[in-house]
Amino acid sequence: MDRWQAIRAFVTVAEAESFAEGARLLHMSARAVTRAVAALEETIGTRFFVRTTRSVKLTESGSRYFDDCRRILSDIVDGEAAAAGSLAKPSGRLAVTASALFGQMCVLPIMTEYLDAHPTMSGRALFLDRP
């Protein structure tokens, strides 16, 4: 398991306060989640949790690491959303104003084609013959 997934497992376990619940939320086995968190603890050189048979609580260093990891994971999600935004489908409202004849002959066919191609868009056209 790579470090990113181990951090994700750690954050999920900390939020759920349970290895079993964290594993269920991640759709992984409890053993795999436990191993990932243990490997992360070994790599960093500190214990993140006080484990008992009934509960899992963060240590002081685990709490600090949890805050940092949660921020980092949030930044990753925001970065992915921003990257996907460059390929996202347009949405919103397209408003066009033109002279009546030019609007009907040139703008309207282009606008309807565009709105057909992008169903999440809505359109408004105002065609007037006045200055």
Residues 15 and 62 in one domain: yes
pLDDT in tens, 32-90: 999 999 999 999 999 999 988 888 999 999 999 999 999 999 998 888 877 777 557 78
pTM of the model: 0.63
User: Residue 1: its pLDDT value, please?
Assistant: 66
User: Residue 125: its pLDDT value, please?
Assistant: 93
Residues 123 and 70 in one domain: no
Residues 98 and 78 in one domain: no
In this prediction, residues 95-104 reach a mean pLDDT of 92
The angle subtended at Cα 14 by Cα 37 and Cα 54, nearest 5°, is: 90
Domain that holds residue 16: 3-85
User: Residue 89: its pLDDT value, please?
Assistant: 77
**Distance (Å, rounded) from C-alpha 131 to C-alpha 1?**
67
**Distance (Å, rounded) from C-alpha 48 to C-alpha 64?**
9
User: Residue 77: its pLDDT value, please?
Assistant: 85
Report the first-to-last Cα separation within the chain, whole angstroms: 67
Residues 26 and 59 in one domain: yes
Asked if the model's pLDDT at residue 13 lies above 60, the reply is yes
Q: DSSP string spanning the chain?
A: --HHHHHHHHHHHHHHT-HHHHHHHHTS-HHHHHHHHHHHHHHHTS--EEE-SS-EEE-HHHHHHHHHHHHHHHHHHHHHHHHHHTTPPP-EEEEEEE-HHHIIIIIHHHHHHHHHH-TTEEEEEEE----
Residues 97 and 79 in one domain: no
Residues 119 and 62 in one domain: no
The domain total for the chain is 2
